[in-house]
Amino acid sequence: MQALVVDDSLAMRAIMGRILRELGFDVLEAKNGQEALGHLEKGAQPRVALVDWNMPVMDGVAFLRSMRGNATWDDVPVMMVTAESESTLVLTALEAGANDYLMKPFTREALIEKLDLLGVEHD
């Protein structure tokens, strides 16, 4: 059971990765959307993707649009995990293909609750 964590912050990848590993996931990490697409193109099959908005090279929304443009990854739930809280930005993410949104900073419990809402099974 894989999870894909996409964030340019090493600290955020570590925090999300630790929580996901505790929940039984094998975690793939990427520091931007382009690197994340590379994981998918090489055959990664994540059960969920947690994606930051603001990243260099390819941001979260551009990654989402690329990902959603390939039917292979239609079934992968995507959660935007970001400090961006403006309602128009939330709507932009949802229109780009995000399934849910988690605001930074977040708690372990909030992340688990969002996974449950997305129907993502975990330990």
Q: Residue 44's domain is classified under what CATH number?
A: 3.40.50.2300
Is the residue at 105 inside a domain? yes
- pTM of structure: 0.94
- The verdict on residue 79 lying in a domain is yes
Segments forming the whole domain that contains residue 85: 2-117
Band of the pLDDT at 88, cuts 50, 70, 90?
Answer: confident
Q: Give tens-digit pLDDT for 91-115.
A: 888 999 999 999 999 999 999 999 9
What's the start-to-end Cα distance of the chain, in Å? Answer: 10
DSSP bridge pairs for 4: 28, 49
- The continuous run of DSSP H or E covering 19 comes out as helix 10-22
Helix 60-68 vs helix 33-41: angle between axes, to the nearest 10 degrees?
A: 30
Work out how many domains the chain is built from and give that number: 1
Tokens of 101: 């949104």
Cα diameter, the chain: 34
